[in-house]
Chains A and B, each alone.
Chain A
């Protein structure tokens, strides 16, 4: 499968391992790295881009990247994203 470019991206420099994104994602696309005590993005292709993970993150460490078709269709300048 082509590499999935959309979905949540976690800034591990800021992530404090609180588990909120992992616990609260409606679609359950996050995994959990037990060794590092940090979330992982296991199923980005199933992301509905709802951005709940962004608003529940206390460290603003999650950024949901929109897919190309959404960016172009919604009139977002691609340069702003890529």
Chain B
């Protein structure tokens, strides 16, 4: 018996361009695509497009390109030039494409233009753009004005602009653009037809309504994989949701793309962060970005470990910046109490810190206010793992158009394996995809769902709703806590074969024996059921890739205790993870350009 799509779900939405995730990437892509008003754009967002995503969660509203900020970039801008900067560090590690880094660099001013158009204040009162050079003065902030030389070249690392309202302004512009917005809607799966993506299924997390989107092109911009480890200083359930990034980012889009046939890359690399104790795992302002860190003996760490892999400034790359010891087996952080002392801060430093706080979630300013101001005294700094390494780990970005190995499926932002780890870079890729889709969409035929796709939707519906019929079963948050404990105890920073194998065995056992027992009483809990299943998938892929890479690279991002050395002969390449049609998972190594 043939069942009609309309009978299976509550709403069917036909669109040209479906954007999964309404963060910086999704909003930027929507604005660019809607430059052509004939193109219908739909955005599916788990939270709401005004405050969802990573945008408001940290100080990342900057455009970074060390030493090579020019307006515009020179025409002959090459990978050699790129290799001098931050991207060079990445290229050195052979896990991110230098070719794509150059693409990013070439396009990086474009989103800034869009932001200025929609009223984001990127300039000072005198019309200049504020630039911060990182690491020029160790331990101190270094603000200066952007002054081009006679050739128009501007030296500087980051263009900072006030970012606290950037997401609201972007969201308002998206609303005004006429894109259709589906807030409080979680992606559950992609729909494919002969290796081409033709749509997606989603669930409204308030009403429980099931939605099917039929689309010519789909962009995965669901952000990074955050909920894999726990925030170790908070008790359950608070340990699940405190993160330096948006805690709604659990990697759902990445899992959906993977199941649809997209290749993933670099799943073994985790992110290590320093945060101020009590700062709710916030980023730079709470991480002592502007202050010197010291141990209990009063030794300043950047002086003690000068010249090594040691820098407290950054927040983006490499993660090794955050481990204050040249020796992974004996990190200073673990034997010491590390603090930063703000009591002697200069006015400039205080201003810099408040500026950064103001671009983060409002909680930072509130915390400082409650504590009596930022000049209070020593603040403890702690290390934790917010998730996998943003902008390095995720769906494999195949080319300059951000295409994936699934036709008409695009990838951008933190869900992508190739750069795009900061808000500004994410917006660059959103801009690229939005422009490209706008140009090609008229060449793509409107998809027609056939029997096979209806079956996909039907089985997805069964999967989504099953926990509602299972009263008194397993609580999804309790399971999530357990899965994340497995990652903490068996994977973590010091990876070793027997423990990785044990993690994989436990995760498989959970998938087979516990997942069918999950229960939910309402759509909100159903959302957590869907999330925890994705978290289990990602955890296993993370452990498998960690097991496969029998070397250490970018320590502590991937540190194998049993293979502590970097092995460029065998491992100067990325691990591609791919799910085959028969559900078998294939892991291969590939060199990357």
Contact = CB atoms under 8 A, between A and B. Distances in A.
The finding on whether chains A and B are genuine partners in a shared complex, rather than unrelated, reads yes
Interface of A: 1, 6, 23-28, 42-43, 45-52, 54-55, 64, 66-67, 69-76, 80-81
Contact of A27 (B233, B248, B380): B248
A28 B524 contact: yes
18 contacts: A1-B237, A26-B48, A27-B241, A27-B248, A28-B184, A42-B524, A46-B237, A48-B243, A48-B247, A48-B361, A50-B51, A50-B361, A50-B363, A64-B366, A67-B234, A69-B234, A73-B380, A75-B379
Contacts of B238: 6, 45, 67, 69
B235 A28 contact: no
Contact of A28 (B57, B205, B280, B371): B205
B242 interface: yes
Contacts of B516: none
B160 interface: no
Contacts of B246: 26
Given A25-B47, A48-B243, A51-B363, 4 more contacts: A49-B361, A70-B279, A75-B376, A76-B367
B451 interface: no
B3 interface: no
A22 to B, nearest CB: 10
Contacts of B242: 48-49
Contacts of B56: 26, 50, 52
Contacts of A52: 51, 56, 361-362
B206 interface: yes
Contacts of A45: 237-238, 241, 477
The 5 tightest CB contacts between A and B, nearest first, are: A74-B278, A73-B278, A51-B362, A73-B277, A50-B361
Contacts of A80: 370
Nearest to B237: A45
B206 A70 contact: no
B47 A26 contact: yes
Nearest to A50: B361
Contact of B57 (A6, A50, A71): A50
A66 to B, nearest CB: 7
A70 B409 CA distance: 41
A21 to B, nearest CB: 11
A74 B363 contact: no
Contacts of B362: 50-52, 54-55
Interface string B468-493: 00000000010000000000000000
B369 to A, nearest CB: 9
Nearest to A54: B362
A81 B369 CA distance: 12
A24 B367 contact: no
Given A45-B238, A47-B241, A51-B363, A74 B48 contact: no
A80 B376 CA distance: 15
B377 interface: yes
B269 interface: no
B371 A43 contact: no
Contacts of A46: 237, 240-241
A23, A52, A80 — most chain B CB neighbours (10 Å): A52
A1 B475 CA distance: 12
B52 interface: yes
B571 interface: no
Q: Which of B242, B278, B279, B377 has the most CB of A within 10 A?
A: B278
A4 B277 CA distance: 21
Contacts of A75: 278, 371, 376-377, 379
Interface in B22-49: 47-48
A24 B48 contact: yes
A8 to B, nearest CB: 12
